[in-house]
Every structure is written in structure tokens, then in C-alpha cells.
Amino acid sequence: MSVLRVLVFITLVALSFQAGAQSRSQNHIQSGHAWIVAKLQGSAYIAQKDAKAIKVRRGMALEPGQTLSTRARTRLLLVRGKERIQVGSGAIMALPPAKYNKPGKTLILHQSGRLDLTVNKRRAKHFSVKTPYLVATVKGTTFWVDVREGRSVVSVSSGRVEVSNNSSGETTDITRGQTVTVKKSTNGTSTMTFDGTVATKGQKIKVRKYKKNIKKPNFYATVKTGGKTLALQPGSLKKTAPIESIKLLTISQRNLLRATAEQAQKEIGEVEAVASTVSQSVSQTVSSTVSSVTSGSSSNTASSETSDPGTSSSETSSSETNDSGSSTASSSSVGGAVGGVADTVSSAVSSVTSATGLF
């Protein structure tokens, strides 16, 4: 009977977790930030932080905070209402975590490969695709974005797309039949080139420069190889590098400091929690030691008085003084230990604070 109860309990727990996951997925779908896998030919995987990657099946949802990657000779269709994203082979794309989502806005993080997108038309710009080299923003259109190491390409089939070069701030609008390529050279500079002209006016594409559009992509992709977690080079499907070096390339100083501050606060909280636990343990030890010494003092005094009724009060007083001294010494010793813990905690907190550059 006990085995049966255990099996029933495990089943109920599993169903509870599944129901919770389905509920969260449904919430993401209702909020308009999740996409459904409508078609799949080949192999693809969905991964997220601190979780094992799972193989994609038709009908699954790609939710905020998750990364989608496709293998060779794979095609996958994501749908959200009437909007479509055709994901090509060797592609890596992600949806930002829920805390970064804004109502009515969509952001796709595109590391590598090709995406063909059909976006609903609205009055305001509401849909952006961010690559390591450019950002494409639309009100509603059909276009594709292709990302390779060192370059990103945007081409429009219908509608209009605003394209911004992350490195230079160069910004332009392209329409049907036009293509923009942003290339990054080995020395770190980038160039924006065009194919096609504005058909209605017969003029070349106009380029504007906005300092506000000079931004690092603020995202990077990671892979696990040989038990180690490494970062992919911007735009690459396979080339890796240490995470810290890629962070410097892709994450803005402001966001690095913010992430460092959050990590520092987390570490300080952990140190303070340990200190609190140690302090409580030491306090209990102090109480136990003092109580034990006091109890021992009473016992010794009573024994003296009983065994030798003629013991002088000075001897008794001396005995009590020694006991008292013993008690004081024990308290002092433990108190020193408490002080040592406090000093260690202060040193650790100082070290964390100094390491993060926050004062």
C-alpha cells in the first residue's frame, strides 16, 4: 500500500508541474509574446537558462526567455495569429525574457541564419529584429533577415523597413525590392551598402545618422562544449570564445554594470545569510557554555561545603572566583569567535563590492 501511495504522490506532483508549465505557456500566448511551431521539417531544439535543451515538435510554443536553433537541412514555421516567421537551417534566434517585453511590442534576437518574416500592419513601429550588427524595425511588412559572421542583410518584399547600423548609427528606410547589408571589418569598423533604388522617385537611398542608434546588441548566444559553457562569436553558428570576451563586444557598459551590481547584491545577500546562520549558532554555543559553567560552579561550591563544613569563606570565595573567571574566559573566547566571523563577513562584503567596482 505504501508503494502505491508513493507512486500516486509522484504522479500528482508531475501533473502539477505540467499544469503549471502549461498555464505559464498559455499566459505567454495570451500576452502575444509566444510563437507556435506550426510546421517542421528536420531537427530543431529549444533551450533556456538552467534547463536541458528539448527537441522541437510541431505544436510546441517558443516562449520568452527561450532560444530556438535549427540544424542543417531544417525548415521551421513559427506562427502568432496571422504573423509568420520562417526559420531556415543553421539559424539561432531567441525571445527576450518576459521582464524585457513591452505591451504591443515584439523583439526578436537573431544570432545567425535566415528568418523570413510576415508582420501585421499597424500605425506605429511595433516589431524589431536585432542582430549583432543591425536592427530592423517595421510597422508591418514582409521581409527577410540573414545573419552570418561579420555581416547582416535585410531585404524587403513588401512594405517598409527601417534599418540601423549598430556601430555607426547610420539609419535608412528601404522598401520593396531593396536590400541593405551591414558588414563589420576585422578592425572593428562597419559599412552599410545598398542594392536597389527608390523606384517612385528614382533616387538613391537616403541615409541618416543618429547617435541614439549607436548601440551594442546587448545579447549573445552560448553553447556547451566539453562540459564548458562558451559564447558564440557574433553572427556565428559554431565559432566560440570565452564569455567575458564576448560580453565586452556585445554588452553595453551600462548593462554590464547593472548585471554586475545585481550579481554583487546576490552574493552579498548570500554572505549575510551565512553570517546570520553562524551568528545564531555561536550565540547558542555561548548560552550553552555559560549555562554549563554556571551549573558547574554551583556544583563545586556545594560539594566543598558538604565535604568540609569547616571550609573558610575565603576558600569558597576563591573557588567561586575561579569559576567566575572560567566563565568569563569562555565567554571572551566565544565572543572573539563571533568577532572573527563578523570581521570575515565584512571582509567578504568589501571584497565583493570592490570586485564589482561599486562603492
Question: What average pLDDT does this structure show over 232-255?
Answer: 90
User: What is the per-residue pLDDT across 69-110, written as a single tens digit (0 to 9) for each?
Assistant: 999 999 999 999 999 999 999 999 999 999 888 899 999 999
d(CA 108, CA 217): 11
Task: Cell numbers for 140, please give them.
Answer: 508591418
pLDDT in the model for residue 297:
45
Of 3 and 207, the structure prediction assigns the larger pLDDT to 207
Average pLDDT of the chain to the nearest whole number:
75
Contact status, residue 129 vs residue 142, Cβ threshold 8 Å:
no
Of 17 and 230, the structure prediction assigns the larger pLDDT to 230
User: What is the per-residue pLDDT across 28-38, written as a single tens digit (0 to 9) for each?
Assistant: 444 578 999 99
Instruction: Break the chain into its structural domains and give their ranges.
Output: 27-217, 256-356
48-62, 212-226, 284-298, 309-323: range with lowest mean pLDDT: 309-323
Backbone angles phi, psi at 139, to 5 degrees: -95, -30
Q: Tell me the helices (H) and strands (E) count for the chain, helix number first.
A: 4, 21
pLDDT in the model for residue 195:
84
Q: Which of these, 193, 123, 201, 199, lies nearest to 163 by C-alpha position?
A: 193
pLDDT in the model for residue 282:
57
Own/partner pairs, 107-110, CB within 8 angstroms, 24+ separation:
109/217, 109/219, 110/145, 110/147, 110/152
Contact status, residue 220 vs residue 234, Cβ threshold 8 Å:
yes
At what angle are helices 313-356 and 253-307 packed, to 10 degrees? 170
Residues with Cβ within 8 Å of 195's Cβ and at least 6 positions away in sequence, in order, are 178, 179, 180, 181
User: What is the per-residue pLDDT across 15-26, written as a single tens digit (0 to 9) for each?
Assistant: 554 444 444 444
Q: Can you tell me which residue has the cell 559599412?
A: 191
Instruction: Report the range out of 7-11, 182-186, 319-323 with the highest average pLDDT.
Output: 182-186
Q: Which CATH architecture best describes the domain 27-217?
A: Sandwich (2.60)
First vs last Cα of the chain: how many Å apart?
61
Strands 228-232 and 222-225: antiparallel
d(CA 320, CA 198): 102
Apex 331 CA angle, 328 and 335, nearest 5? 135
Q: Which of these, 108, 45, 39, lies nearest to 71 by C-alpha position?
A: 45
